[in-house]
Structure 1
Amino acid sequence: MENRRINLLFIVNSVGIGGAERHVITLLNKLDTARFRLSLAYLKKEDILNEGTLLPELDQDRLEGRVFCCNVSSKVDLRAARQLAKYICDDMADIVVCTNTYSLLYGWLARIMAGRHPRLVEIFHTTEMGTKKSKLQMLFYRPFFRVCDMLVYVCEAQKKYWRSRMLRAKHDAVIHNGIDVEHYVDHYTSEEKNLLRQSYGFSELDYVVGLCASMRPEKAHGDLLKAIANLRVAGLDIKCLFIGDGSERLRIEEAIKTMGLAQHVKITGFLADARPAMATCNVMALVSHHVETFSLAALEAMALGKPMIMSEIGGAAEQVIHGENGYLYKRGDIEALADALHQLMESKKCCQMGDRARSMVTQRFSLATMVNSFDQLFVKLARSPDQVMEVDNVIR
């Protein structure tokens, strides 16, 4: 093992656009190829028309061509599992890295079929189960966690949540999500921001709150609309920019019209690069009712110098220090959300909190910190499996 690279096989549900999928692409692009031999298997082809794909963001040259789709055609596709098993054997995989529960199922099946036992790692991005169906699915997946050599949580709150619910693997660790803080820098000029604002019908002096998220029910865009409507009724001039697209767009557009906000709330649609749109906002918000565990979108906005207003779910309290670099509020509490928006209308306070937000990300949640932590984890698993418990004390 000391004389060859460590073979890592990543398994992900798809390469469609999503936080967990982007996390995998980032690791593949940044892990040291002098130390690791990298491969990627994705279970299903993404619907490019409706979802988009992250494949163009993957530097496939680093993977030496080992990127393949399993073309899963049913919930448990044994043909796909055998394909993965063959790859584990042929490539002598040392570690199989799974992202969330469905890929963990296939990693477990493939390891059994392969007849050899690479280390099994689960990177888990989920906290609360938002629906009855997802709760039942979690009951099915629970046993697979127990055979994992390492369960990686993406924040402390998530680890606490699942440990209290008796979710167990052989070992676990916390590695916070990280972003490229040099990529997310507000280098846009006032003129560039004003031109973009004008394209959405906003003026230079407007107070604009942004929300960057897929338009899905759990993201609760309607909560922000209600808070904005309440503030406008109270005589406060506030605008909103929804950055993104999704299945709920028509419902959201109808709600905007019904609330009389058509002149004050705009939707960008899908953007390949959301940085200019986020940079033109004064404040960013995430108002989700569930799903968020440790939001990359929040880190990106904070790195751009934007104070964050977040519903207090998942690891939000590890990102936002209430009253210092943003505000936290109880999910669904429209009055508290509106109050936070009102507080940040004071430009000096908004700028100060934005500076602290970027400082927080730079110091604690950089991409380099995250990648280095995974590097340590994979090396320890491959080369010192009997000492893997030490990881719990090293990686945070």
Structure 2
Amino acid sequence: MKHFTKLAAAAALGTVMGTAAIAESLYTPNLAYRTGPFAATGIPLMNGQADYMTLLNERDGGIGGVAIDFEECETGYSTEKGVECYEKTKGKAIVTQPWSTGITLQVLPKTNVDEIPILAPGYGFSPMADGKVFQWAFNVPSGYWDAADMIVQYLEQDGSLDGKKIAFLHLDHPYGKEPLPLLEKLAAEKGFELLPIPVGLKEMQNQSAQWLQIRRERPDNVVMWGWGAMNAGAITEAVKTKYPMENFIGVWWAGHDADLKLVGEEGAGYKSISWSFPNPEAPVMQEIKEMVFDAGLSQSNEEEMQGVFYGRGIVMSMILAEAIRGAQENFGTAEIDATQLRWGLENLNITEERLEELGMAGMVPPFSTSCANHTGHSGGWMLEWDGSKFVKVSDLLTPNVDGYSDLIASAAADYATANAPWAMNEECSATN
């Protein structure tokens, strides 16, 4: 069945499915964090996610004629609370959205037993790309090892990295440590010195020691894997110590407009790799404004809606919605279960044409998934702060996955061995 758009999709799907289309709701809980030290970055993402699902409910009556129950369970970014939220919501959920690499790592073995797909867009455990091993986990459209590879590719555009020094300023947390295996591999291959500089949770707002080390070591570049208050603290310290902002690059979670607005024009030149790009003029944004924001159904505000993170939240919910839609069409039922949603997540095909139909052209690169590929490896753009907003300063960068496919495979195999007995998708091969 071909994809339809807007009300036509819901009407057509409801007709095909008949009485199945009167299901009460699709329960897709989000383990959100609107409180705690990471709230400033979590809120715009959660708002974007919620507003897209509200748009589908208001405009289309949900997906396939079934309303989406996008309940939030507040974690405060606490791993312990995140696990509690997972246990609380898993009974009727067709998906879990952990919203933290730490929480993801804790619920990963649980979901393999409970058979509930994890949707972790752009975060989580990088080896989840191996769909044969991690049959219930998805980190579409791009993973942390993809991000590290693209950042190194971008730095190489100015010449060889041999003999250069790259500081890796990272949150001392599973999230911040996630890219280290690939960065160490790339450092050995390309001849640069990797200088890891951890930032503890209690040091996020006072990084004077870390930036004293950076000033002393004088790295050619600083790559930041930060989140929440750490990003603002690092950017402020970089300006204060007069580190060249053009040599400072963050992962996609370190590219939040509000953090750069704290320093304004002094932050010009700072960059962030990103698999999403905000387009306030996109048709989907206009519909959200009219049917969600103007109707008083949003927790966002007009300034936030212009930003990178709000737009990224919309893309995240689009990915989930497209997986749901695809599963409904494939199985001929509106009331899909978790196993059927897993099929939908394994068969995403987000083309340029489909993005146009969704009113989201240019907001995310095209990508597709399969039973073997649970990441999609969409690629991304390098964004740069121009003093008032983020702008694209590169063509689409794509990760050289072949260069670390062996690392993905070995890390996935090691995980399965360490967590034996570990159920795999034995019917899945590397080519399907």
Bin of the TM-score, shorter chain as denominator length: 0.3 to 0.5
Choose between structure 1 and 2 for higher RCO, CA contacts under 8 A separated by at least 6 residues.
Answer: 2
User: TM-score scaled by structure 1?
Assistant: 0.38
Instruction: Compare the two structures and name the one with the higher strand fraction.
Output: 1
